[in-house]
Amino acid sequence: MTATDQRLATSSAPVRGAVDMTHGAGGRAMADLIRDVFQKHFNNDYLAQGNDGALLGKVHGRLVMATDAHVVSPLFFPGGDIGALAVHGTINDVAMMGARPLWLSASFILEEGFSLAALEKIVVSMALAAREAGVPVVTGDTKVVEKGKGDGVFISTTGIGVLADETDVSGSNARPGNAIIVSGTMGDHGVAILSKRENLDFETEITSDSQPLHNLVAAMLAAAPGVRVMRDPTRGGLSATLNEIAQQSKAGMVIREADVPVKPEVAAACELLGLDPLNIANEGKLVAICEAADAQVLLAVMQAHPKGRDAAVIGEVIADRHALVRMQTRLGGMRVVDWIAGEQLPRIC
């Protein structure tokens, strides 16, 4: 039994039935849905204010805000679901700026006919993820669309965090000579989604890496305040992320294929399906770029953290006016790591 299922089992009777248009009409049915599903599980002092927005506390530092929409299919997958993913994804977007996430908002678009029991399971998972991360959902909204106009549920989340004045983490900060580090194995989330969607069976179940990274980021910045860049390699995977940073920083990069960590089962699945692990999404990993002198200290801190055990130095930033990303292959050759062409795996986050 998953943590979400245990939480549902120990709560009061779950809601029954399905979403209908009255749940979005602003009347009693909508009020009941908000009370019986959202307030019941997200319960916190901010929501208890009962207003159209949340009155937040004072903060010391600069504010960071990030927003994300989640349209993953299927809604439930090995290692997670759309609810936990929505929390983790936005927390990580705030954390990649070097900020400490403080609050989340959530907006739900529900399709008429969607199971209320499935909705509650998603909300329970989302609430559990928010509580475990220490980042509450403080305000939200719900809309309902006609049957056939949606796909069960879409979730948009916005996060607000605070950034210390001395912290400067940006995709434009990479400089020649800097080291490139990843916090763990590549491709886990995208392959987990694909295996569920296509009913593929592997000898070892591949699970999503969906998890919040803000505590890992805090440990990294405490050990190496000079970290220049952090980014989570979600859609487009590692290749898209490195190309984004290269373009922002106007510098090139060289990575080593042998040093990029990929689980054997993920590598086998990619080989079977003709996919490149560098192009596949992750939802619980980060890329960090730092001064070469700080690389081993930073690596040790990451590997000592439960969310960075498989961290590895995979390459370095170089001077290149074309801002290309290249990879030294296991055979000793060199190839360009380009942006993905088209969409390998739609609806993965």
Quick one: tokens of 249? 């920083």
Whole-model pTM?
0.93
**pLDDT tens, position by position, 161-177:** 999 999 999 999 999 99
Amino acid residing at 298: L
Over its C-alpha atoms, the chain yields an Rg (Å, rounded) of 21
Quick one: tokens of 43? 């319960």
Same structural domain for residues 196 and 304? Answer: yes
Same structural domain for residues 156 and 226? Answer: no
Same structural domain for residues 207 and 328? Answer: yes
Most confident of 14-18, 37-41, 307-311: 307-311
Same structural domain for residues 34 and 157? Answer: yes
**pLDDT tens, position by position, 231-270:** 999 999 999 999 999 999 999 999 999 999 999 999 998 9
Query: Are 188 and 263 in contact, with CB atoms under 8 Å apart?
Result: yes
- Does residue 332 fall inside a structural domain? yes
Work out the pLDDT band at 12, boundaries 50, 70, 90: low
- Does residue 260 fall inside a structural domain? yes
Same structural domain for residues 88 and 127? Answer: yes
**What was the pLDDT predicted at 19?**
92
**What was the pLDDT predicted at 203?**
67
Quick one: tokens of 108? 């739900």
Same structural domain for residues 91 and 64? Answer: yes
Which of 136, 163, 190 terminates a domain? The answer is 163
Q: How far are the Cα atoms of 75, 79, 106, 114, 348 from residue 210, in angstroms, in the given order? A: 13, 7, 18, 24, 12
Same structural domain for residues 70 and 98? Answer: yes
**Strand ranges (DSSP E) for 71-178?**
76-77, 80-81, 100-111, 137-145, 153-163
Cis status of the peptide bond prior to 212, with omega within 30 of 0: no
Is residue 221 scored above 70 in pLDDT?
Answer: yes
Query: Are 275 and 198 in contact, with CB atoms under 8 Å apart?
Result: no
- Does residue 342 fall inside a structural domain? no
**What was the pLDDT predicted at 344?**
65
What does the alpha-carbon distance between residue 313 and residue 299 come to, in Å, rounded to a whole number? 7
Which of 133, 163, 193 terminates a domain? The answer is 163
- How many of the other CB atoms lie within 10 Å of CB of 273? 14
**What was the pLDDT predicted at 149?**
92
241 burial class (0-12, 13-18, 19+ CB within 10 angstroms)?
buried
**What was the pLDDT predicted at 197?**
80
Query: Are 162 and 62 in contact, with CB atoms under 8 Å apart?
Result: yes
**What was the pLDDT predicted at 24?**
87
- Does residue 70 fall inside a structural domain? yes
Work out the pLDDT band at 347, boundaries 50, 70, 90: confident
Q: How far are the Cα atoms of 43, 51, 209, 265 from residue 56, in angstroms, in the given order? A: 16, 12, 31, 45
Same structural domain for residues 158 and 246? Answer: no
**What was the pLDDT predicted at 327?**
97
- Does residue 343 fall inside a structural domain? no
Same structural domain for residues 21 and 82? Answer: yes
Same structural domain for residues 304 and 272? Answer: yes
Strand 137-145, strand 100-111: pairing? parallel
Q: How far are the Cα atoms of 92, 180, 213, 226, 277 from residue 298, in angstroms, in the given order? A: 19, 11, 15, 10, 24
Same structural domain for residues 7 and 95? Answer: yes
Which of 108, 130, 163 terminates a domain? The answer is 163
Contacts of residue 57, defined as CB under 8 A and 6 or more positions apart, other chains included, come to none
- Does residue 168 fall inside a structural domain? no
Domain of residue 80, residue span: 3-163
Share of the chain above pLDDT 70, in %: 94
Work out the pLDDT band at 66, boundaries 50, 70, 90: very high
Query: Are 9 and 1 in contact, with CB atoms under 8 Å apart?
Result: yes
**What was the pLDDT predicted at 4?**
57
How many structural domains are present in the chain?
2
**What was the pLDDT predicted at 155?**
98
Residue with tokens 């998603």: 122
- Does residue 112 fall inside a structural domain? yes
Query: Where is 287: in which H helix or E strand?
Result: strand 287-290
Work out the pLDDT band at 7, boundaries 50, 70, 90: low
CATH number of the domain at 54, please: 3.30.1330.10
**pLDDT tens, position by position, 203-212:** 678 899 999 9
